[in-house]
Structure 1
């Protein structure tokens, strides 16, 4: 089996193991973790370059033939998801480097982040439902530990909310996998695709898959199953919440996109349900953000809202809409993580995350104002930034499909998003600080944090101005999602 297939998982797991071996030496843990994250990014870029040339990697662990062995597939979508996971993982650790926190705390952050990255990448490359469940478990363990890290009543309360609801979703997933296996005799995604595409699925298989999609919907924070996210993300340490904001819900979205396109390449009942769920998610999320008065709680509700756009592309099920969903995934991961990073620095400088207690940042830190404006305007869909092109493609796809209600909610959500970002801008940057003598007392923070925000803002601008190549990649990714050549060929050739 091509070694490239396992690199996205082997690199963070090896990094975690090496970090555990030298955990008494905090500086070594930090160095190893940063080096491992850089290696994961390099592997992801390599995979994207291969995928852009039409290379699809697939194989079986230990050469056990499909559908009995563990199948792995890296196509265009999974390759870019691994690459962007490397970007956000490295950005998180660079941002966290030299932050004024206890050495043991920072060491544990590095170790748990590597475990989390392994779980995320494993979910992106697996072609087997049970192993997807395993990687979700790895994700749950690492993410719960990161939320709870540091303790405190508020943080532990948020961590428990996160754990309980995500554990229920994971148990639902396990039950669903059992139903699907009992009804079909397989959990291989390629073989399931052949069964469902041939309309040979039993009622038990349908019930199992529906439960599976519901568990993915919880992980993706779709309406009405999103309440755990705004109740938990804002309590974590800022770099951790930025990592979560960028990546965790996207694992659920990825699983939804992968399973729905595999089993139902043509529009049907499932797509109709997803359409209404997507519209409700967009508008309820953005209205929830409008009611909040803390920066990270506002941004947390916007995660929910923006997930609706991605699922809208899946629900419309046209090639252009699927390409828009892929484009939106790429754009949103970078933008949302950066907004949380900027929010953390703003809270440090002003001494609070409450909008009423913030202010004065435009005059005192103009660079930070620019670094907020770029992802904020991109999130709202202002041209020529990445968010504009992502929204434009989805709106055009909905118009082409004649789904006017989707167009209406997409545009309305964009307007409300702009208003919400304007509220943060006015309160945090334009107005005077209520206690000017307290502004900037805590200092600017480590240079790594500023470097992280600058690089992510630059990526957002580059995606906007380089939308053509990104869109070409997204269109080719959408074609692979529907045709699923690697998933189906693993079954046809018996895993050879």
Structure 2
């Protein structure tokens, strides 16, 4: 079904960014425009999700050039869900940024760049052309690099160099793969590629091309052994930026892996095994890396790596149950990881540091806020019946069904280590007494009530979303089930795009 409103979620952030450029020096106006823009984007995303969920796959041909010759946007269940989750996270980050980002950074264009970044993410999720997926990736990389370096502190620049170097490498592999695909098929439309790839006589070149995409998207997703740039860079920018990175940027790489390795390439046994091995090693390296960290954001960065392994392993098992579990975990992870970095930013604003050894007594001083944060932390740890619990059940079930006990063991180890580090964080930051010597940084000032409210509100929005996901798991399972069905049977997607 053709629906031109598909690109509304892209255009709203484009126009918001352009409008903010007209108010370059007026930071209060920029804050209002940002919140209004992300709220409007959320409403468009919710409308798009509802249309796809209650109807069928939607398409839009740019300038009425029919696929596979023109640029096509496609909203199936996977892309509509990703756009909706991105819009929820962006709304929360926008509200947090209104007070959580310094005015100096706003004057250097924080809000326009933030909206260009969200625009790029939505474009990547909705494009039906693999070259345009590359273009949207570049939009995201450029915007994220500017956000990462905004402020110009030494730690930020060091993290940005590692981030940019690895993303340039990833883009090189990605673009090389795109060139090879066009060379062997003469097409870049993903639905058309799904039909032409099986007809290629030399499947060895197809497998080589698939490896280029695996390396390119693997770097962007921070899978083992390509993950080291993430913990080195995500702890350096402001918490609002880190929340956007932690919740959304690695997930666009995961989305690309899902899309390409279910629609364009069908993984053979070697590729499935490779995904599972990478998933296991990603889980273990991320989990053991988190154990030794005392800085809250560094700890959360390693947990991002750990939990990406759950999703990659589910893709490697490549069964209905495994894909359902992987998609459910992706839905849970996008919201929770965004919220974790907002929580880290709130703690920094309340206490002046994110070093767990120098923290303590938060529950005694802020009991209501602590209980709100507990919902997020316990969801992350997978305490039943919260959102992190249900997808692990499906992943473990899929692992047992495939007799892949190594993956099952890694999921269990990763889950217990996550529980341990979260329990340690709760004990150190919330339950233990205040340190004997008060630690206050030069920039630390007690929060005013209104500012505190604006910092807590987005955490509450995302916590409510997480709580809804866990307590209404049957609804999320229905969505994930439909996504996994569309992954395994790509015929409806191909028919919607090509009209065959």
Check whether TM > 0.5: yes
Aligned to 2:103: 102
CA deviation after TM superposition for structure 1 residue 103, in Å: 5.2
Gap regions ≥5 residues in structure 1: none
Partners of 2:70 and 2:205 in 1: CA distance: 23
The answer to whether the 8 Å contact 2:105/2:151 transfers is no
Partners of 2:317 and 2:60 in 1: CA distance: 31
Partners of 2:347 and 2:239 in 1: CA distance: 11
Deviations 1:42-86 (A, max 9, x none): 111111111221321023211222222112110111001101111
Aligned to 2:196: 195
Aligned to 1:449: 455
Instruction: Call closer, same or farther: CA 1:491–1:476 in 2, change over 3 Å.
Output: closer
Among residues 464, 467, 472, which one is paired with 1:466 in the alignment?
Answer: 472
CA deviation after TM superposition for structure 1 residue 385, in Å: 0.3
Aligned to 1:282: 283
CA deviation after TM superposition for structure 1 residue 198, in Å: 4.5
The answer to whether the 8 Å contact 2:218/2:226 transfers is yes
The answer to whether the 8 Å contact 2:358/2:439 transfers is no
SS at match of 2:109: helix
**After the TM superposition, which residues 217-228 of structure 1 pair with which residues of structure 2 at under 5 Å, given as runs?**
217-228=218-229
Instruction: Call closer, same or farther: CA 1:298–1:74 in 2, change over 3 Å.
Output: same
Aligned to 1:262: 263
The answer to whether the 8 Å contact 1:222/1:304 transfers is yes
Partners of 1:78 and 1:395 in 2: CA distance: 26
Instruction: Call closer, same or farther: CA 1:482–1:414 in 2, change over 3 Å.
Output: same
Partners of 1:395 and 1:109 in 2: CA distance: 42
SS at match of 1:6: helix
Matched residue pairs, number? 494
Aligned to 1:8: 9
SS at match of 1:489: helix
CA deviation after TM superposition for structure 1 residue 260, in Å: 0.6
**After the TM superposition, which residues 55-454 of structure 1 pair with which residues of structure 2 at under 5 Å, given as runs?**
55-99=56-100, 101-102=102-103, 105=106, 108-198=109-199, 200=201, 202-265=203-266, 268-435=269-436, 437-438=438-439, 442-443=446-447, 445-454=451-460
Partners of 1:486 and 1:147 in 2: CA distance: 40
Aligned to 1:477: 483
SS at match of 1:386: coil
| Structure 1 residue ranges, 4+ long, deviating more than 6 angstroms after superposition | none
Instruction: Call closer, same or farther: CA 1:98–1:386 in 2, change over 3 Å.
Output: same
The answer to whether the 8 Å contact 1:278/1:309 transfers is yes
Instruction: Call closer, same or farther: CA 1:441–1:24 in 2, change over 3 Å.
Output: closer
Partners of 2:241 and 2:146 in 1: CA distance: 10
Partners of 1:455 and 1:491 in 2: CA distance: 35
Of 412-421 and 393-402, the range deviating more from structure 2 = 393-402
The answer to whether the 8 Å contact 1:389/1:467 transfers is yes
CA deviation after TM superposition for structure 1 residue 190, in Å: 1.1
CA deviation after TM superposition for structure 1 residue 209, in Å: 2.4
Partners of 2:328 and 2:201 in 1: CA distance: 33
The answer to whether the 8 Å contact 1:183/1:202 transfers is no
User: What TM-score do the two structures reach when normalised by structure 2?
Assistant: 0.95
SS at match of 1:72: strand
SS at match of 2:234: helix
Of 117-126 and 29-38, the range deviating more from structure 2 = 29-38
Partners of 2:479 and 2:336 in 1: CA distance: 19
Provide the alpha-carbon RMSD of the alignment. 1.9
Partners of 1:102 and 1:16 in 2: CA distance: 17
Among residues 488, 494, 499, which one is paired with 1:488 in the alignment?
Answer: 494
Aligned to 1:53: 54
Gap regions ≥5 residues in structure 2: none
SS at match of 1:234: coil
Partners of 1:104 and 1:456 in 2: CA distance: 25
SS at match of 2:73: strand
Deviations 1:219-270 (A, max 9, x none): 0000000011000000010111011111000000000011111134575321
Of 293-302 and 350-359, the range deviating more from structure 2 = 350-359
Partners of 2:8 and 2:108 in 1: CA distance: 24
